[in-house]
Amino acid sequence: MSKLFSPENKAAFTNPLNLDNPVVVQVLGICSALAVTSQLEPAIVMGLSVTAITAFANVIISLIRKTIPNRIRIIVQLVVVAALVTIVSEILKAFAYDVSVQLSVYVGLIITNCILMGRLEAFAMQNGPWASFLDGIGNGLGYAVILVVVGFVRELLGSGSVLGIQIVPDALYDLGYMNNGMMTMPAMSLIICGCVIWAHRAYNDRKK
């Protein structure tokens, strides 16, 4: 049991949540972070999808890493990821069709997500299944947290609601409050991501 939760394994899970976050520290996965965060629901679904795919792809590649010829390792990784993405896409179409439509092509583009391919190449190819699973979960959740923060801010300020539930009271609208239509534009997600990156780095620099 102690080996399962060794300091190395704990670091593989916790570092991507803060000190080595794939979005705000490594600046990876920005494209999808800008594209799917106009509302909170698709941001949550996208984050969970990437987390599941990254975790299971890491495990599969870790299990077969010693049998993969070096010259075709990227092709094998892409095949594994494509299979998992197809499964997730079909599940979303079956059980969350409206969200699947909102995410559009971005579910399929998880195949080329630089976070996912980076973890397969940098971690899963060198480590065991359990450590790779924790690394996949950690990086997926680290990515998902940023999407949720950006999606929350954009939906709240852009439409006055969260998950389709009105948060801003009608009394405030009667006083002249207006939703910020710019929050629905991709440019604002870039600005919010920049603010999150600034706040994260400022906090950790001060903590050091």
Q: In the predicted model, is pLDDT for residue 28 greater than 70?
A: yes
Read off the pLDDT of each residue in 61-82 and give the average, rounded to a whole number.
91
| CB 41, CB 164: distance < 8 Å | yes
pLDDT for residue 114 is more than 90 = no
Size of the chain in residues: 208
% of the chain at pLDDT higher than 90: 29
Judge whether residue 132 has pLDDT over 70.
Answer: yes
Average confidence (pLDDT) over 145-162: 89
**pLDDT bracket for residue 180 (50, 70, 90):** confident
Q: Is the pLDDT of residue 181 over 90?
A: no
Cα angle 30, 68, 11 (rounded to 5 degrees) comes to 50
d(CA 122, CA 28) in angstroms, rounded, equals 14
Contact 57, 84 (CB under 8 A): yes
Rounded to whole angstroms, how far apart are CA atoms 39 and 44? Answer: 9
The 10s digit of each residue's pLDDT in 29-51 is 787 777 788 888 888 988 999 99
- Please give the Cα distance from 146 to 22 (Å, whole number): 10
Give the model's pLDDT for residue 96: 82
Q: Average pLDDT, stretch 116-141?
A: 91
CA distance 150 to 103: 16
DSSP 23: T
Please check the confidence at residue 141 and state whether its pLDDT lies above 90. Answer: yes
* Mean pLDDT over each residue of the chain, to the nearest integer: 86
The pLDDT of residue 4 is: 67
User: What CA–CA distance (Å, rounded) separates 116 from 13?
Assistant: 15
Q: Is the pLDDT of residue 208 over 70?
A: no
